Structure 1
Amino acid sequence: MTVGADILPRRSAWSALTANIPWLLVPALAFIVFVFGWPLLYLLRMSFNEHPGPSVYVEAWSLRNYLYILTDPGMLEEIAKTVYISLVTAIVTVVAAFFFAQFVWLREGRSRLMLLAVALGPMLISEVSVIIGWRIFFPSNGLLSYALMSAGLSERKINLLGTELAAVVGLSYISVSYCFFSILSVLNGIDRGLLTASGDLGASPARTFFTVLLPLAKGGIAAAFTQAFVFTMGIYATTNALGPDSLWTMPYEIQLQMLTRRNWPMASALSVVLIAIIAVAALAVQWLRHRKGRRRV
Structure 2
Amino acid sequence: MSASPAPKSYAPWLLMLPALVMVVVFFGIPMAYMLRMSFNLHVDEKFYVPGFTFEHYAQLFANPLFTAAIWTTIKLAFAAALATVVIGYCFALIAWLKPPRWRFLLVGLALCPLLISEVAIIFGWWMFFPKNGLLSYALVSSGLITSKFSLMYTEFAAFVGLIYITLPYCFFIMLSVFDGIDKRTLEASADLGAGPFQTFVEVLLPLSRAGLAVAFSQAFIWAIGTYATPSALGPDTLWTVGYLIQDQMLNKHNWPMASAFSMILVAGVAVVMAVTRSFMAKRQAVHV
TM norm. shorter chain > 0.5: yes
Correspondences of 1:175-190 after superposition (within 5 Å) = 175-190=166-181
Q: Is residue 82 of structure 1 aligned with residue 73 of structure 2?
A: yes
Give the distance between the partners of 2:282 and 2:72, measured in 1 at CA: 28
Distance change in 2, residues 1:286/1:211 (3 Å): farther
Q: More displaced, 210-219 or 94-103?
A: 210-219
Give the distance between the partners of 1:153 and 1:288, measured in 2 at CA: 45
Whether contact under 8 Å (2:210, 2:283) holds in the other structure is: no
Distance change in 2, residues 1:294/1:32 (3 Å): closer
Give the distance between the partners of 2:261 and 2:69, measured in 1 at CA: 11
Q: In the alignment, what sits opposite 1:285? A: 276
Whether contact under 8 Å (2:41, 2:48) holds in the other structure is: yes
Cα-to-partner distance string for 1:95-130 (whole Å, 9 max, x where unaligned): 111101000001123222111111111111111111
Distance change in 2, residues 1:288/1:158 (3 Å): farther
Q: In the alignment, what sits opposite 2:96? A: 105
Cα-to-partner distance string for 1:191-233 (whole Å, 9 max, x where unaligned): 0111111122122211211221111112322221111111111
Shift of 1:279: 1.4
Distance change in 2, residues 1:260/1:130 (3 Å): same
Q: Secondary structure at the match of 2:145?
A: coil
Shift of 1:291: 4.7
**Which of 34, 45, 54 is 1:43 aligned to?**
34
Shift of 1:241: 1.1
Percent same amino acid at aligned positions?
A: 46
Q: In the alignment, what sits opposite 2:197? A: 206
Shift of 1:250: 0.1
Q: In the alignment, what sits opposite 1:119? A: 110
Give the distance between the partners of 2:55 and 2:181, measured in 1 at CA: 52
Q: In the alignment, what sits opposite 1:5? A: none
Q: More displaced, 280-289 or 87-96?
A: 280-289
Cα-to-partner distance string for 1:56-110 (whole Å, 9 max, x where unaligned): 1011110000000011111110000000000010011111111010000011232
TM-score by length of 1: 0.90
Question: 5+ unaligned residues in a row in structure 2: which ranges?
Answer: none
Q: More displaced, 196-205 or 227-236?
A: 196-205
Whether contact under 8 Å (1:215, 1:293) holds in the other structure is: no
Q: Secondary structure at the match of 2:6?
A: helix
Question: 5+ unaligned residues in a row in structure 1: which ranges?
Answer: 1-13
* Amino acid paired to 2:104: L
Q: More displaced, 31-40 or 182-191?
A: 31-40
* Amino acid paired to 1:93: T
Q: In the alignment, what sits opposite 1:3? A: none
Correspondences of 1:55-66 after superposition (within 5 Å) = 55-66=46-57
**Bigger radius of gyration:** 1
Cα-to-partner distance string for 1:34-65 (whole Å, 9 max, x where unaligned): 21111111111000001112321011110000
Give the distance between the partners of 1:75 and 1:295, measured in 2 at CA: 41
